[in-house]
Amino acid sequence: MLTWISANLGSIVVFLILAAIVTAVINKMIKDRKNGISSCGGNCAKCGMCASCGKKDGKA
């Protein structure tokens, strides 16, 4: 087991770094969603998701 870990240490470290980054991004997205922050660009007329958007008046 120790031989396998030492042979794959570089891959393990890269995986752990990527997993930490993905976790941080997901946590940030969840926090922003709870606080009402979105990535909306504000141009509802050209938005494909305008029917499901939370903005009722059509303005950003």
Structure tokens at 19: 């997993």
Nearest to 60 by CA among 40, 46, 35, 30: 40
Q: What is the chain's pLDDT, residue by residue, as a tens digit (60 residues)?
A: 999 999 999 999 999 999 999 999 999 999 988 887 777 766 777 777 777 766 555 454
The Cα–Cα gap between 10 and 17 comes to 11
pTM (2 d.p.): 0.62
